[in-house]
Amino acid sequence: MSDQRILITGAAGIVGTLMRPRLARPGRILRLLDIAPLEPAAPGEQVEIVPGSVTDAEVLTRACADADAVIHLGGVSREDGWERILEVNIDGTHTVLEAARAAGVPRVILASSNHAVGFRRIGEAGPAGLPADSSARPDTYYGVSKAAVEALGSLYHSRFGMDVSCLRIGSCFERPVDVRQLSIWLSPQDCARLLEACLSTAEPGFRVLWGVSANTRAVVSQSEGERIGYHSRDDAEIFADQVPPGELPGYLGGAFCDIPLGQHNPL
């Protein structure tokens, strides 16, 4: 049997960097694409480096050749000007999906974000937590782009039968840094577990899932992920005494709900 090849866009970003060692497996080649420099393959590491942008159709055509799956993490990861968000996140995702379709890649995982529903009130859905497919209530142009990413994924599933998972990622960092993140933290290990579950679903489908750990202070539902075999083993609570005291925000998107629209923001 030939090796499984997985294309990861945005591989030099925060999540991509955390996933590189965690998704490595015997019999699997990780093809890493980014406009930013990537560490060359370490001895024994099954890695192929593709320098380039998600907005470049030629690069994506090469990157998708012989790929079994695409994990699309690339793009602008916070608020920015409309033109840039449109070009990189919306056009860029279209470029990725189009290249994947043309190359016959059967499975695509798209990084969405909690900011697609950032203006949903924490607690609005009761104790079960906010369902993963709650309709969009974006908090920024960035959040709008993530809603569009999900819509594109739905279209490519319905039209072409592609298996598409959209992950509404909470805060995927080594550890949570504030009270809000104690609720929506996605541990790097859980992120890898979630991606593995998406990579191994049997039936081609379209799904929107939360990318969040089973945190004690959870505010979103775990059930959709569990249905495809994602079982979180981490809980942000172990870091609670290292987080500065504070209040949980009223809206899921937290500070994104208040930052100036369309301005590059370091948050």
By the criterion CB under 6 A, which residues form the site for ligand 15L? 77-78, 113-115, 171, 267
> What's the chain's length in residues?
267
- Least Å distance between CB 172 and ligand 15L? 7
- Least Å distance between CB 236 and ligand 15L? 12
> Are 88 and 24 a contacting pair, CB within 8 Å?
no
Nearer of residues 30 and 73 to ligand 15L, judged by Cβ: 73
> Are 267 and 259 a contacting pair, CB within 8 Å?
yes
129: left (phi over 0), alpha (psi -120 to 50) or beta: left
Nearer of residues 176 and 225 to ligand 15L, judged by Cβ: 176
CA–CA distances in Å: residue 18 to residues 14, 93, 178, 229: 6, 21, 20, 21
Nearer of residues 12 and 162 to ligand 15L, judged by Cβ: 12
- Least Å distance between CB 180 and ligand 15L? 7
CA–CA distances in Å: residue 191 to residues 86, 156, 158, 264: 26, 24, 26, 26
Catalytic residue among 141, 142, 230, 251: 142
- Our answer to whether residue 142 is catalytic in this structure is yes
Looking at residue 227, its amino acid is R
Nearer of residues 77 and 222 to ligand 15L, judged by Cβ: 77
- Least Å distance between CB 218 and ligand 15L? 15
Residues classed as catalytic = 142
